Chain A
Amino acid sequence: MVTSIFFLALAGTIAELVRGQLAFPNGSLLTPGLYEQAVSFHGLIMILWFLSPFGTAFANYFVPTQIGAKDMAFPRLNAMSYWLYVFSGFMLVSTIFLPGGGPQTGWTLYAPLTTTEYMPQPGMTLSVLALGVLAVSITMSSVNFLTTILGTRIKKMRWWKMPAFSWSILFTNFLMLFAFPPLAAGAILLTMDRVFGTVFFSSMLGGALLWTQYFWFFGHPEVYVVVLPALGAIAEIFVTFSKRPLFQKRVFLIEMAAVTVLSVGVWIHHMFMTGIALGVRETFSFTTMAISVPFEGLVIGLVLTLRKSALRITTPMLFAMGALFFVILGGITGVFQASIALDYAYRGTYWVVGHFHYVMVGTTIFGLVAALYYWFPKITGRMYNEKIGKLTFLFSFIGFNVLYFPYFLLQDMPRRIASYAANPEWFPLNLTATVGALIFGPFILISFLNIGHSAFTGAPCEPNPWDAVSTEWTGDYSIPEPDDPEGGIEESENDNEPEKEAQPPPPSIVPSQNQEETASYEEERSTRTYLPVVVAGGVIFFLYGFIMFAPLAIIGLLIMAGAVVKWFHDDYHDKYAEIKQTLKEKWPFETVGKEKLGLWIFLMSEIVLFGCLISGYIYVRLGSSTWPLAAETHNVVIGSLNTVLLLTSSLAMILAVQAAKNNDQLGIKAGILGAFTLGAMFLMIKLSIEWPREIINGFVITGGLAPSTYYMLMGAHAIHVGIGLGGLTYLMAKGFAGKFTPQSHTALELIGLYWAFVDIVWIFLFPLFYLI
């Protein structure tokens, strides 16, 4: 949370600079080069390194508490995803100081502007790599959250009873799982273009459109990733401060689900002017219109929650209501852009900027600031200063509208221009906006300072100062949901405690203590370890070194390798193994262990990642009339041999798992050894026989789109094979020490699942490259 607020401060300051430059038609605060960097950093940092992580911070703290789990499903993975996020953020920001500066392409990083031809500076490459690292971090985080919510809820926390905030986090993480692989795919391809000389984004066939497809397939779900946690928090706040249950909670959740599902099918509305077939664009215009219907339902549900309520106007409630106002305004202006005809006018103008700032800043920041005030007593055990809080709300609200409403009136002003001397008529509105920025920014800052100061000096307060009924406040997980017609809480005049029959005593939730300490951890099994930091650090060193300074890369690799080995070593000795718990609410995944569930969720993201890479290949190939036939470029014999090798390797793996179930130690060892050997042979044949032959024949990576796609996909697959071999080495160590038993062979099974997945990818790659 603190880290994301740091990034907010950074990007917010950049924003103030931007507004400073635009206050006057021919401002001289920032040169065009600096200005374009400013808008790019502002966008990237705000969306990816602040908004989403800020929401995740609350999720990390409160989802386990809300669902009754002790902690996240995979605590060390949690730590690693955090450190990767921090370090990737530093990597991004550091590019300002490198020669040539950082990205000057806007946060949308449109190709071919991002290729080395037009943006040669290393800072650009490092920014793309930072994005890739963030994508990895977020994928890890979403695997963690999904496994936690799907598989570790406390008994009786049935699906409909789960609080709205946890539900919103569930949806958010499903979206993250599907949205970030396309970004990673785009980042991989762009990095390959910049570092290895492939031509994905510089060729006419791939080029701008390929990037926009990848980016917006990611980008649209991303904005819902940003907004949904805030909506979930707003729902919680509305319920608590109006003392009414959420209006038709089940309908609310279904609508949220509808938004989530539909958000994967609207991305072409960011590409209405690219000239793709009108039929395709019309379809997406329909889906974009359609998605506003469940959204409208969500908003109405929240407003109706206020009906016949006993409203308490506290700071969090004010911020939440403000956020709702912004989602109404922002959402409606979004509907305008769903129309293709109107989009002809809005594309690339400040109308778009106004719309997304209303929803991203208005709804999300106001919503999450509301959440911060709301949960502040729970996190710190103190109360913040109410008067200052309300004051900051008032001026932030006013400042926000003064800042962003003029954008809708600047419909013809292009985005990302550093000055507008040719259109002096835009001056008054721009000046107004800057004045708004000078009000909004500082007051939001004061709000955060209020929180920070009160964290140390606020008056200590009781455990549940808001008299909330949701589980993270009361700690009572058996309490029936208020909107459950059979189990409502009786209206009562006297004391604060609702009627209870013999309830099991709630776990002690003392607000001033750290959440970790109150959970009933086995002391000797605390999962604190320094390893995640080290691995993350190693990754960053490696990437920096790779682009800038080779020795650093080697140091990075060594650090990573060392830390990973130590991590495996810890697992080998079962240092952090969890005691199997039987009392869990896990429908519908009752028989699935936590680790297996996590792995399958991870495989989902891998399916989407490889799918995106393969789709890119299909896309450019279909558009080409001169693609070389497979027979001319690849040797079918070698390909088939490799196919059989990998298939047999999979067989060996599953036989090893079967042997473990039968306690056949020899079978286990033989299976793992066989799988490893065959996999290693696959890799060796590919790397030492096949590729050198092809390179000698002239099929080099810089030779155009056909080799670009070939080496990219084969390379990605080969890296996965290599990682699998690493895992198999670990299995060999464990297997040969006889550590696998019929009851405990999770690692064997999981790595087997991963290995089979790697084989499945090859099953597609083989025909796509050798036979077609």
Chain B
Amino acid sequence: MSLPVPPTAVDYWDLFSAFFIIGLVAGGIVVSAMVYYAYVNRRKIGRREFKISRAHFRSRARETVILAMISLTILFSLSVLSDRIAANIQTPPETSTSLVINVNAFQWAFQFIYPNNVTVTTDCRIPVNTTVIFNVTSLDVMHDFGLPQFKIKTDAIPGRHNIIWINVPSLEGQNELTYQIKCYELCGIGHTFMMGNLIVMNQTAFDQWLNQTAVSQGLG
């Protein structure tokens, strides 16, 4: 029983691969150069015959500038690409069937408030194939509401509301999918234990659960 990878995580790994390949190549070249030069030019202590040779320097300013321009272009493109994905993470798509859940972080758990005022703590249930918008804030100190398997999170700051959204497209043949929720900002002694579960259910099961919970909380 393996958890399907959510779409946001797929985006993340794609972007990560881009960064990783470029970083590996760039870093690899520089490190290899250093090791190569060190190996080729090694001497033993004691021999002092070499002096710093006369500086027949031609200015390599042109090459430096070219290299800088190339690096800047690559990095800026990566940045622009990242910005698009980031904008996507915090801007939910315009649909009429999105579910807005208010997330209140407090010491030391997350509280979830549904549109019909049902309030649950620690574990959050959502329906599959629905745009779920988390409206995150904090009731006391700074926390961070994070879904590690989705590779997204947002700070929970008292007095501010931050938005992230997810959409789990399919249950992949399973009854329920359980993802992890964790707090990613030190918020006191209980930070170590501040976590929960994000349980994805099919629409009928979710509606059932929501209604039952509403009744048991006296909300009719």
Q: Report B-chain residues with C-beta under 8 Å of the C-beta of A35.
A: 192
Contact A416 B79 (CB under 8 A): no
Instruction: From known contacts A33-B189, A293-B72, A341-B89, infer whether A469 and B52 are also in contact, taking CB-CB under 8 Å.
Output: yes
Quick check: which of A145-153, A204-212, A705-713 contacts chain B, the rest being far away? A204-212
Name the CB-closest residue of B to A481: B55
**A36, A275, A483: the one within 8 Å of B155 (CB):** A275
**Complex Cα gap A341–B152 (Å):** 8
Instruction: From known contacts A286-B79, A289-B78, A303-B34, infer whether A492 and B146 are also in contact, taking CB-CB under 8 Å.
Output: no
Name the CB-closest residue of A to B78: A339
Q: List 29 A-B contacts (CB under 8 A).
A: A111-B142, A113-B142, A204-B159, A207-B157, A245-B52, A282-B86, A285-B83, A290-B75, A293-B68, A293-B75, A300-B30, A306-B38, A310-B50, A311-B38, A333-B23, A339-B82, A340-B85, A341-B11, A341-B12, A341-B83, A342-B12, A344-B154, A348-B146, A348-B153, A348-B185, A467-B48, A485-B55, A492-B51, A493-B49
Name the CB-closest residue of B to A34: B189
Instruction: From known contacts A335-B23, A335-B75, A485-B57, infer whether A345 and B152 are also in contact, taking CB-CB under 8 Å.
Output: yes
Which B positions have Cβ atoms within 8 angstroms of A?
A: 11-12, 15-16, 19, 23, 26-27, 30-31, 33-34, 37-38, 41-45, 48-55, 57, 59-61, 64, 67-68, 71-72, 75-76, 78-79, 81-87, 89-90, 107, 140-142, 144, 146, 148-149, 151-155, 157-163, 180, 182-192, 195
Quick check: which of A132-140, A260-268, A323-331, A745-753 contacts chain B, the rest being far away? A323-331
Residue A332 at the chain B interface, CB threshold 8 Å: yes
**Complex Cα gap A251–B54 (Å):** 19
Contact B79 A325 (CB under 8 A): no
Contact A417 B192 (CB under 8 A): yes
Contact B90 A278 (CB under 8 A): yes
List CB contacts (< 8 Å) of A98-114 with chain B.
104-106, 108, 110-113
**Complex Cα gap A345–B149 (Å):** 9
**Complex Cα gap A345–B160 (Å):** 21
CB distance from B155 to the nearest CB of A (A): 4
Interface digits, A289-302 against B, CB 8 Å rule (1 contact, 0 not)? 11011101101100
Contact A289 B79 (CB under 8 A): yes
**Complex Cα gap A551–B43 (Å):** 66
Instruction: From known contacts A309-B41, A336-B23, infer whether A36 and B189 are also in contact, taking CB-CB under 8 Å.
Output: yes
Contact A273 B79 (CB under 8 A): no
Instruction: From known contacts A118-B141, A208-B157, A293-B72, infer whether A110 and B78 are also in contact, taking CB-CB under 8 Å.
Output: no
Q: Report B-chain residues with C-beta under 8 Å of the C-beta of A204.
A: 158-159
**Complex Cα gap A469–B142 (Å):** 54
Residue A307 at the chain B interface, CB threshold 8 Å: yes
Instruction: From known contacts A243-B52, A289-B79, A306-B38, infer whether A118 and B188 are also in contact, taking CB-CB under 8 Å.
Output: yes
List CB contacts (< 8 Å) of A433-482 with chain B.
467, 469, 482
**A112, A309, A386: the one within 8 Å of B140 (CB):** A112
Q: Report A-chain residues with C-beta under 8 Å of the C-beta of B149.
A: 412
Interface digits, A753-772 against B, CB 8 Å rule (1 contact, 0 not)? 00000000000000000000
Contact A311 B55 (CB under 8 A): no
Residue A496 at the chain B interface, CB threshold 8 Å: yes
Name the CB-closest residue of B to A244: B52
Contact A332 B146 (CB under 8 A): no
List CB contacts (< 8 Å) of A412-439 with chain B.
412, 414-419, 422-423
Contact B79 A209 (CB under 8 A): no
**A residues contacting the other copy or chain, number (CB 8 A):** 94
Instruction: From known contacts A36-B189, A275-B155, infer whether A311 and B43 are also in contact, taking CB-CB under 8 Å.
Output: yes
Q: Report B-chain residues with C-beta under 8 Å of the C-beta of A274.
A: 155, 157, 160, 162
Instruction: From known contacts A110-B186, A339-B82, infer whether A299 and B30 are also in contact, taking CB-CB under 8 Å.
Output: yes
Q: Report A-chain residues with C-beta under 8 Å of the C-beta of B189.
A: 32-33, 36, 104
Interface digits, A487-514 against B, CB 8 Å rule (1 contact, 0 not)? 0111111001010000000000000000
Instruction: From known contacts A207-B158, A207-B159, A348-B144, infer whether A339 and B188 are also in contact, taking CB-CB under 8 Å.
Output: no
**Complex Cα gap A36–B34 (Å):** 40
Residue A612 at the chain B interface, CB threshold 8 Å: no
Name the CB-closest residue of A to B151: A345
Contact B186 A106 (CB under 8 A): yes
**Complex Cα gap A225–B23 (Å):** 25
Name the CB-closest residue of A to B185: A348
CB distance from B5 to the nearest CB of A (A): 13
**Complex Cα gap A662–B67 (Å):** 59
Q: Report B-chain residues with C-beta under 8 Å of the C-beta of A282.
A: 79, 83, 86
**Complex Cα gap A311–B37 (Å):** 9
Contact A416 B45 (CB under 8 A): no
Instruction: From known contacts A118-B140, A207-B157, A341-B82, infer whether A245 and B55 are also in contact, taking CB-CB under 8 Å.
Output: yes
Q: Report A-chain residues with C-beta under 8 Å of the C-beta of B12.
A: 341-342, 344-345
Name the CB-closest residue of B to A272: B86
Residue A615 at the chain B interface, CB threshold 8 Å: no
Q: Report A-chain residues with C-beta under 8 Å of the C-beta of B53.
A: 488, 491
**B61, B83, B155, B163: the one within 8 Å of A340 (CB):** B83
Name the CB-closest residue of A to B75: A289
**B54, B68, B81, B142: the one within 8 Å of A490 (CB):** B54
Name the CB-closest residue of B to A482: B52
Residue A349 at the chain B interface, CB threshold 8 Å: yes
Q: Report A-chain residues with C-beta under 8 Å of the C-beta of B59.
A: 248
Instruction: From known contacts A251-B64, A498-B51, infer whether A36 and B186 are also in contact, taking CB-CB under 8 Å.
Output: yes
**Complex Cα gap A36–B183 (Å):** 15
Residue A338 at the chain B interface, CB threshold 8 Å: yes
Residue A694 at the chain B interface, CB threshold 8 Å: no
Residue A312 at the chain B interface, CB threshold 8 Å: yes
Name the CB-closest residue of B to A303: B34
**Complex Cα gap A412–B151 (Å):** 8
Q: Report B-chain residues with C-beta under 8 Å of the C-beta of A335.
A: 19, 23, 75, 78
Q: Report B-chain residues with C-beta under 8 Å of the C-beta of A285.
A: 79, 82-83
Q: Report A-chain residues with C-beta under 8 Å of the C-beta of B154.
A: 273, 275, 344
Name the CB-closest residue of B to A292: B75
**Complex Cα gap A510–B141 (Å):** 58
Instruction: From known contacts A36-B186, A106-B186, A112-B142, infer whether A243 and B50 are also in contact, taking CB-CB under 8 Å.
Output: yes
